[in-house]
Amino acid sequence: MEEQNKKILLVEDDPNFGTVLRDYLTMNDYDVVHAKNGMEGFEKFKKDDFDLCILDVMMPYKDGFTLAKEIREKNTDVPIIFLTAKAMKEDVLKGYKVGADDYLNKPFDSEVLLMKIKAIMQRKATDSIADSKQFEFKIGRFDLNSKLRFLRFDGGEPEKLSPKENELLRLLALHENDLMPRELALTKIWRDDNYFTSRSMDVYIAKLRKYLKPDPNVEILNIHGEGFRLVINNKEE
Amino acid sequence: MEEQNKKILLVEDDPNFGTVLRDYLTMNDYDVVHAKNGMEGFEKFKKDDFDLCILDVMMPYKDGFTLAKEIREKNTDVPIIFLTAKAMKEDVLKGYKVGADDYLNKPFDSEVLLMKIKAIMQRKATDSIADSKQFEFKIGRFDLNSKLRFLRFDGGEPEKLSPKENELLRLLALHENDLMPRELALTKIWRDDNYFTSRSMDVYIAKLRKYLKPDPNVEILNIHGEGFRLVINNKEE
DNA sequence: CATTTGTGTTAAGGTAAGGTTAAACCTAAA
DNA sequence: TTTAGGTTTAACCTTACCTTAACACAAATG
């Protein structure tokens, strides 16, 4: 069987604990890259594709949350598990806002960690059947390249998109002609759902509408209280 | 009062703790059904649709795991959170095996629970993009798309429907040519049955009749004191 | 057949959601 | 430090939705 092992980035400054954990995960068929601090962790993250990150919160130079934020800027999807020394409430909350998938209090049971990892990987696998690695879309007479973040009209000059513009348009395109729930965009892109993020999203919808104006067969419709719909009319000739 | 509250089944035998937790969740805009033991929990589960189950592990008659198993047989998807008195490893593992989404050790911080609930609900919302087809109805020469909330006549320009219009028409369509009891619509859509909601419903019936006027073979009849009937005449040629 | 109760319909008014623009704010890079 | 790009917050306006009121008519009831 050709099954590729899952790759885990482990960032943990305590050398003993880190090594033990790395070995334990390795024994359980994960490929582990072990970084000893936040700096190193970020360097290694950039150099490879990981299926999961396990970050210690308390670290010198760069703590786990800061690292997580940097990681999120590069990749909005990798699952992140935080290791915290104690059950600090604020820490926990902060973690969730960065898009943490779970957190564990040290010391923890290694088998529990394994189960969590499994659960997360599984969820990931289920989630991303639909919206997996799709970065190029045809939207009427536009081409959206979501990886390079540009939008081109009729093969002309590509227009640069900001990260948020890009992600939002991509989400809409993934749900082309279908409902893209407000909540989905808010949780996926803004990672928080409140009055302000909601208004912020509306601002971005307005921006996108402006971008898309050149093609009259493309429009973003609102479904009151539900979300938005990117409609592409295939005009018959 | 637009967004439908999420429904939580809480099964917890400790009366004090259970009540406090129920009130806390209620305060945070969840609809909570509280059962005092496994038996009752399962009965209530069968009678309603829940978005999440929170189960105490240690309970008389029927423990949380057994209950979870029964719940899983009925529904493979509802998220389940376990409450365990202590962090027994066996419990945790067993929980994951039954398909738990998370577990919490009592006593726990209520805000942490809230965050977990939110996270799980979000995940759920993301997941269920797949199941679509039970939203489309053919009503004479009309097409009703209940998910995107529009009504189209003869494949022309889709007409937007408001949430209430949409739900009401959908209920009528589900009972096509049959009685759709007043009470049903009032409890399902208005979640309250009194003079005013009843009059409000009549207003919506009037609106729907206007929408449906273009097709003379479609009409909404009143059954005095009982409800309404969406009649679709299949004209013989 | 008179009165009560239920339904048909339209319009007014309140509230919440969404649209738009600009200013304020942040943060990484110069 | 300043600057520039990106994002959020604020302000103000428009639209969508829902309820309520009002008045008319129909159906049941005794």
pLDDT in tens, A217-228: 999 999 999 999
DSSP β-bridge partners for residue B159: B151
Residue A186 pLDDT: 94
3-class DSSP assignment, residue A195: helix
pLDDT mean over A138-147:
93
Rounded to whole angstroms, the distance from the CA of residue B212 to the C1' of nucleotide D6 is 48
pLDDT mean over A182-202:
93
Rounded to whole angstroms, the distance from the CA of residue A162 to the C1' of nucleotide D3 is 18
Residue A124 pLDDT: 63
Contact between B27 and B70 under an 8 Å Cβ cutoff? The reply is no
Residues of chain A with pLDDT > 70, as a percent, come to 84
For strand D, the positions having any atom within 7 A of a protein Cβ are: 5-11, 16-22, 27-28
DSSP β-bridge partners for residue B228: B180, B222
Rounded to whole angstroms, the distance from the CA of residue B167 to the C1' of nucleotide C3 is 36
Name which of A76, A82, A111 to mutate to probe chain B: the one with the most chain B Cβ atoms within 10 A of its Cβ: A111
pLDDT band at B89 (very low <50, low <70, confident <90, very high): low
Polymer length of chain B:
237
Contact between A78 and A53 under an 8 Å Cβ cutoff? The reply is yes
Rounded to whole angstroms, the distance from the CA of residue A163 to the C1' of nucleotide D12 is 28
Q: How far is CA B159 from CA A216, A223, B151, B209, in A?
A: 19, 12, 5, 14
Minimal Cα distance from A175: which residue of B?
B129
pLDDT band at B9 (very low <50, low <70, confident <90, very high): very high
pLDDT mean over B30-34:
92
Residue A94 pLDDT: 56
User: What is the residue whose two structure tokens read 């309970």?
Assistant: B59
Rounded to whole angstroms, the distance from the CA of residue B213 to the C1' of nucleotide C1 is 36
Model pLDDT for residues B131-170, shown as the tens digit of each residue: 444 688 999 999 999 999 999 999 899 999 999 999 999 9
Name which of A91, A93, A117 to mutate to probe chain B: the one with the most chain B Cβ atoms within 10 A of its Cβ: A93
Q: What is the dihedral of CA B60, B63, B64, B70, to 10 degrees?
A: -120
Sheet of strand A179-181, all strands in order from the earlier edge strand to the far edge: A179-181, A227-232, A218-223
CB contact under 8 A, A123 and B123: yes
pLDDT band at B235 (very low <50, low <70, confident <90, very high): low
Q: CB burial class (10 A; 0-12, 13-18, 19+) of residue B210?
A: exposed
CA dist., res. B179 & res. B175, Å (int): 6
Residues from chain A contacting residue B101 (CB–CB below 8 Å): 119
pLDDT mean over B171-200:
92
What value does the mean pLDDT of chain A take?
84
Which tokens belong to B23? Answer: 């009130």
CB contact under 8 A, B96 and A89: no
Angle, helices A163-174/A195-212, rounded to nearest 10 degrees: 80
Residue B176's Cα: distance from chain center in Å? Answer: 22
DSSP β-bridge partners for residue B181: B227
Quick check: A181 contacting B, CB < 8 Å?
Answer: yes
For strand C, the positions having any atom within 7 A of a protein Cβ are: 6-11, 16-22
Which tokens belong to B219? Answer: 């009409």
Between A215 and B96, the higher pLDDT residue: A215
This prediction's pTM: 0.71
DSSP β-bridge partners for residue A150: A145, A160
Minimal Cα distance from A126: which residue of B?
B127
pLDDT band at A236 (very low <50, low <70, confident <90, very high): very low
What value does the mean pLDDT of chain B take?
83
Model pLDDT for residues A54-103, shown as the tens digit of each residue: 988 888 777 788 888 888 777 777 888 888 776 555 555 555 566 667 77
Model pLDDT for residues A11-57, shown as the tens digit of each residue: 999 899 899 999 999 999 999 999 998 888 888 888 888 889 998 88
Model pLDDT for residues B192-219, shown as the tens digit of each residue: 899 999 999 999 999 999 999 999 999 9
Residue B156's Cα: distance from chain center in Å? Answer: 32
Please report the number of interchain residue pairs, chain A to chain B, with beta-carbon separation below 8 angstroms: 57
Minimal Cα distance from A91: which residue of B?
B112
A206 CB-to-strand C distance under 7 Å: yes
Considering all CA atoms of chain B, what is the largest pairwise distance in Å, rounded to the nearest integer?
Answer: 73
Which tokens belong to B81? Answer: 């959170």
Which tokens belong to B150? Answer: 């529009």
A197 CB-to-strand C distance under 7 Å: no
Q: Which amino acid is at B116?
A: K
3-class DSSP assignment, residue A37: coil
Task: Give residues 100 to 119 of A whose Cβ lies within 8 Å of B.
Answer: 109, 111-112, 115, 118-119
Contact between B183 and B192 under an 8 Å Cβ cutoff? The reply is no
Residue B224 pLDDT: 94
Contact between A9 and A70 under an 8 Å Cβ cutoff? The reply is no
Which secondary-structure segment (H or E) carries A39?
helix A38-47
pLDDT mean over A107-130:
69
Highest mean pLDDT among A58-72, A80-94, A124-138, B49-63: B49-63
Residue B106 phi/psi, 5-degree rounding, is -80, 140
